[in-house]
Amino acid sequence: MANKEKNKKDNRHFFKDFKAELKKVIWPTPKQVLNSTTAVVVIVLLTAAIVFVLDLTFETLNTQGINRLKNVVTTQENSITENETETQNTTNVTTEGIDITNPTEENIVGNEVDTNTADENENTTVEDTNTVSE
């Protein structure tokens, strides 16, 4: 029972204090409310306009940048294709009259390998390793 009475006193005390604090509040006049509201709306609209202009600017720059990149890439691809074509044409001119698929002794200049010498070198290295391991 003591708790209920204490809660009622606390509630009354709270509402008394609340009412006293509301009396201390300085409420704005209707003119001040209108001025503040107008200021907030104007600032929000200006911020929205600035963001809109920046968005359009960046979108335009992005689109132009992508188009420039596409042009650079296609130009590079075209130059690579032209270089490959020139290389193929040059190769066809230098190998004209020579059968590359079936080279003969006349077509090979200084590229012959003596297989007997290579076999002797392999045998020598095997014998050297055997000598070292003994």
**Using an 8 Å Cβ cutoff, are 76 and 84 in contact?**
no
* The model's pTM: 0.41
Range in 36-40, 92-96, 111-115 with the lowest mean pLDDT:
111-115
Rounded distance, CA 103 to CA 87, Å?
21
Domain ranges of the chain: 36-90
Q: d(Cα 125, Cα 132) in Å, to the nearest integer?
A: 11
Q: What is the Cα–Cα distance from 62 to 68, expressed in whole angstroms? A: 10
Side-chain half-sphere of 34: how many Cα atoms within 13 Å? 3
**Residue 74 — pLDDT band, cuts 50, 70, 90?**
confident
Which of 8-12, 80-84, 97-101 reaches the highest mean pLDDT?
Answer: 80-84
Residue 134 — pLDDT band, cuts 50, 70, 90?
very low
